Chains A and B, each alone.
Chain A
Amino acid sequence: MKQEWRLFWINAYVLEISWEAGISQHTLLKMIAVKSSLEKGLGADLYDVRMGYHALAVHFRQPAGNRDWNKIIQELMENAQSDFPQSRKRWRIPVCYAPEVAKDLISIANLKGMTVEELVQEHSSAEYMLYFYGFLPGFMYLGGLSERLHVPRKAIPDPQIPSGSVAIGGMQTGIYPMNSPGGWHVIGKIPFSLFDPQTGRLPVFRSGDSICFMPIKKREFDIIVHDPVYSLTYDII
């Protein structure tokens, strides 16, 4: 069988493992399995394993080129496949889709020839998969946006998109974890902070988890905003 991955040393400390270019859940699940076996087997030797759509970068604490990584990774792959499936979570996140908190909601509905209700239905009925974090600390790259909602990014990015904004751009959707410039179109807002670095706590979502958006009314949004205690719910998939 032809080996479906390749190894590439970025420098003496970073080994990239890549699969066929593309965005696919199949590749993602393989990468997650390999990542978790790498962390299990080599945890103390690694800073971390960062992910893209079809590449993992294994960041070693010391130069690591003197071992037969082809063989090691090959073995990991075989074990990873028998380890799988591991537990993944399906999270439900409340989102208020209202023009008062989502400045591009109406313009995007118009652009797409949909009513706001149709757009909300289209966006909130899908189940999204967390591929990886990037762009900003805590920013999740979520795949699974309905083709009907694919939309080019803004030609000129917004100087400030508010924290908690749910936005769409290209073939993706995401939530801005903090105030930031950004080129995506804001269609909703969540009523709490997903990642507050000052607490020292990391985000709860992991690559491979599913995210579902639950539409809430502006009134419910306001209640949650003023009640800082909100527990996210999930089930195991």
Chain B
Amino acid sequence: MTLSKNGTITVLKPGPFTSIQDAGRYGYAEFGVPSSGFMDASTAGIANLLLGNHADAPCLEIFGGGVRLLVDTTCLMVAAGADGELGTSNRRFRTHQRFQLDAGDVLDIYPFRAGQWMYLALFGDFSVPTRFGSKSFYYPITPQSKLKSGDVLNFSCRTFAHSSSNSQLKPHNWSAKQEVEVYPGPELQILTESSQQALFQRPFTVSSTQNRMGIQLVERLENSLPEIYSSPVFPGTVQLTPSGTMIVLMRDAQVTGGYPRILQLTETSISLLAQKRPGETVTFSLLPSLQGS
């Protein structure tokens, strides 16, 4: 039997960008609604599974750390993703392991040592409104894009801990991996031979120009391509701008774009790239073509 209790999390320090995210909002792109959802879906899924939640369940998504939360009810949680410390005044918790908070506990999530995004999964449900099939924060589909100091999140928490068969799940190793797997984009083949070679031969540096919509890369590619007529784009689409700068579209990206779409990251690679900090480098590894005929 699982008991359910209602509780609240009060945001004492929101950090630079903390929001509720789930697997995203699908089916409304034709009205211009971005999918949103976890920046690092691989990690968020693991956090959820370690608790016995569905992998897609909403989590607190924390960028950078520096977050302080007050809970008023006993609840079970798992933190996963970025490498960082977390704990209460008298206890320390490790990522990827279940921990229990008690009523009145203040949880501190300290600035991360490595990685960018941490997921705090809750054994239960966040009671935030579902808009177009998802609880993911995205303004203006939801009233706010991120949490601010003083915000109160309601949740219902299941209290009966069961032994999870998922407890052996290993976090994906984003810190060691540099290779980002990509499919060719629709406009890749119109790039010059030398630009295509450069694309797959050299590393590219993640820039600090980034947010939930997209990540700009530092090194430019020689580009003589014209803009294209606005065409569908997705999270993971790599757009080549007229200046030769590449932008990797992320979860909150708009649904169409007018820049040539030269590559498409796999889902796993979107998660990997999300965790790379400005200054870290990645290389593109081209997957075999999916075009059958």
Contact = CB atoms under 8 A, between A and B. Distances in A.
B185 A50 contact: no
Contacts of A51: 30, 232, 256
A137 B26 contact: no
A108 interface: no
A21 B229 CA distance: 7
Interface string B177-191: 000000101100000
Interface in A38-74: 47-57, 59, 65, 70
> Which among B140, B228, B254 has the greatest number of chain A C-beta atoms within 10 A?
B140
Contact of A48 (B26, B131, B140, B230): B26
Interface in B267-284: 267
A25 to B, nearest CB: 14
Contacts of B27: 47-48
A102 interface: no
Interface residues of B, number: 36
Contact of A55 (B232, B236, B290): B232
B26 A134 contact: no
A207 B29 CA distance: 13
Nearest to B226: A21
Contact of A197 (B141, B228, B230, B237): B141
A10 B234 contact: yes
Given A9-B290, A11-B236, A197-B140, A138 B186 contact: no
A160 B264 CA distance: 32
B231 interface: yes
A14 B186 contact: no
Contacts of A203: 31
Contact of A70 (B32, B229, B293): B293
A213 interface: no
A133 B31 CA distance: 5
Contacts of B142: 197
A50 B141 contact: no
Given A134-B32, A197-B132, A53 B183 contact: no
B229 A136 contact: no
Interface of B: 26-34, 131-132, 140-143, 183, 185-186, 228-232, 234, 236-237, 254-256, 264, 266-267, 290-293
Given A50-B29, A133-B32, 14 more contacts: A7-B291, A12-B290, A48-B26, A48-B30, A50-B256, A52-B256, A53-B231, A57-B234, A65-B290, A133-B31, A135-B32, A137-B28, A197-B33, A202-B31
The 4 closest A-B pairs by CB, nearest first: A57-B232, A134-B256, A52-B231, A133-B32
